[in-house]
Amino acid sequence: MIIGAGMCGLYQLYKLLRNGADVTVLERGDDVGGTWYWNRYPGCRFDSESYTYGYSFSKELLAEWDWTEHFSPQPENLRYVNHVVDKFELRTHIQFGCNLTRAVWDDEHHIWTLELADGRTLTCRFLLTAIGLLSAPTMPRLTGMDSFRGPSFHTYHWPKAPVDLTGKRVAVIGTGATGVQLIGAIADKVGQLTVFQRRPNWCAPLHNAPISAAEMASIRADYAEIFRKCDNTPGGFIHGPDRRRVAEVPREERLAFWERLYATPGFAIWLGNFRDVLMDEAANAEFSAFVADKIRGRVKDPVLAEKLIPKDHGFGVQRVPMETRYYEAYNRPNVHLVSIGETPIERITPTGIRTSERDYEFDLIVYATGFDAVTGAFDGIDFVGTDGQRLRDNWRDGPLTYLGLQVVGFPNLFMLAGPQSASLSTNFPRGIETVVDWASGLFEHAVERGIRRIEPTAEAQAEWTAHVEELYQGLLLRKAKSWFTGYNSNVEGHDKIRYMIYNGGAPRYRQRLAEVAQQGYAGFRLG
């Protein structure tokens, strides 16, 4: 059984069906799509180039699908996922409306028993999670949230029905990647927009543009090279680091280089920069100053501009939101910024929001307050392994895994996009294709040899977890308060560093997986 019908779960379903497996997908929503099903807020789109995000496994699929924008919007992304599902006849193998609440391992019979919210009980030999790294939305812990008389919701639960924003007084709480997309998209559509910001993020222009028919034909002819380039970069994008250090390049030349990066679409400015910008304090400080000046040049009010420039971390140390007209939104007379570090929110009222300074009245409140990332979706399910141990208890201080795929004490539970795997720190479909292909090979190996129980050794898990922790030490992100380090002040117990992602890069991760398989799946007990 596969949990989740997003990009990861659907590809795993496709692979297992081709291998003749008896498999079904359990999806809590009423349709496929995962991220692109749930997130419907205005401005939601790829920040990976569209043609690097789509599946690469089918030449026929690549030949027939046209992307209309370099960074495709949510409605088109959802159409793409549905096209894939229909093309490969996957829908009949998916059960919708299945909210998994508990999964218990039976060590005698080597099966998982799954309990659903609707009262059903199901069993399976292998349980594969594809539940998404950003699928457990978190609301802020504010008094009076239920008292507001108007509509209010998290961006993850944006209504399916159109929301008329014309002339409305709208509050957006949060300026992470989601809030940045939303604010830029609605600033010119609402009556008044008030943004409540806790800490600013470093944002960079997305530079989206349409894809013409001729350009799409050129992309299609170049797919082999595009995916080869993605395979060879640490992040699985077309953007790879410049191997020079900042100090090796004359100042005039590096400023010109940074100007080109700032004008380049997508994550080039983050992932295509000098190699030490994300590793060395001085290099990072110089580049952060460059971006700060860009923000000052785009925001007319100098006092407001300073409030939008982060002071607690450098550029790229946290996840960089890619924006379209975000900073320009604050030049509009109908857009207002409230720094809740200066005037904290005291409560939500029936008519709006009260800060320490004043009361605000709103017609709509939007919570763009992010996610209990990576482990949150796992914590929401009661996974019970051998000897009654619970996964959420084992992970209380941070995840413990082998290869980001399995956990000691939870046999036959495979995390296809779990913590400490490379898919979380790479262009997601590129990462999950790697993991799914490898896991499918392991399942074939198990079937051929009559293996009914797969679990990592304690030694292998300890070695991998230590390796993941060590990789953090050379990067500035180790100091960040972000989901890269498992930090979330809206979740009790998550106000500390937890080692969530693999920072060794996609090529190195693929090499490790290949070596493990070549060595007879070293580190796993196959019983």
Q: Does residue 132 surpass a pLDDT of 90?
A: no
Beta-carbon contacts of residue 357 (< 8 Å; ≥ 6 apart): 343
Q: What would you measure as the largest C-alpha separation in the chain, in angstroms? A: 69
pLDDT band at 493, cuts 50/70/90? Answer: confident
**Mean pLDDT along residues 471-488:** 88
Which pLDDT belongs to residue 490?
A: 84
Q: Please give the pLDDT value at position 492.
A: 84
Lowest mean pLDDT among 237-241, 409-413, 488-492, 505-509: 488-492
Write out the E strands in 28-168.
94-96, 100-106, 111-116, 121-124, 127-129, 152-154
Q: What is the mean pLDDT of residues 102-115?
A: 97
Q: What is the pLDDT of residues 287-342, one digit of tens each?
A: 999 999 999 999 999 999 999 999 999 999 999 999 999 999 999 999 999 999 99
User: What mean pLDDT comes out for the span 127-142?
Assistant: 94
Render pLDDT for 242-283 as a digit per residue (tens, 0 to 9): 999 999 999 999 999 999 999 999 999 999 999 999 999 999
Confidence of residue 494 (pLDDT cuts 50, 70, 90): confident
Residue range 454-464: mean pLDDT, rounded: 98
Separation of alpha carbons 114 and 101, rounded Å: 8
Tell me whether strands 382-384 and 100-106 are parallel, antiparallel or unpaired: parallel
pLDDT at 496 over 90: no
Residues 304/499, Cβ–Cβ less than 8 Å: no
For the chain, the average pLDDT equals: 96
**pLDDT classification of 470: cutoffs 50, 70, 90:** very high
Tokens 């994550």 identify what position?
267
Q: Evaluate if residue 133 carries a pLDDT over 90.
A: no
Pair 231, 263: CB distance under 8 Å: no
Q: How far is CA 432 from CA 149, 181, 256, 461, in A?
A: 42, 25, 36, 21
**pLDDT at position 488, please?**
84
For residue 414, the model assigns a pLDDT of: 98
Q: Name the percent of the chain lying above pLDDT 70.
A: 100
Return the pLDDT at 479: 83
pLDDT tops 90 at residue 482: no
- Is the pLDDT confidence value at 495 over 90? no
Give one DSSP letter per residue of 244-300, joined into a string. Answer: S-GGGS-HHHHHHHHHHHHHSSTTHHHHSSBTTTTT-HHHHHHHHHHHHHHHHHH-S
What dihedral do alpha carbons 283, 285, 291, 292 form, nearest 10°? -170
Q: Residue 445: what pLDDT?
A: 95
pLDDT tens sequence across 28-74: 999 999 999 999 999 999 999 999 999 999 999 999 999 999 999 99
Per-residue pLDDT, 424: 86
Query: How far apart are the C-alpha atoms of 158 and 42, rounded to whole Å?
Result: 9
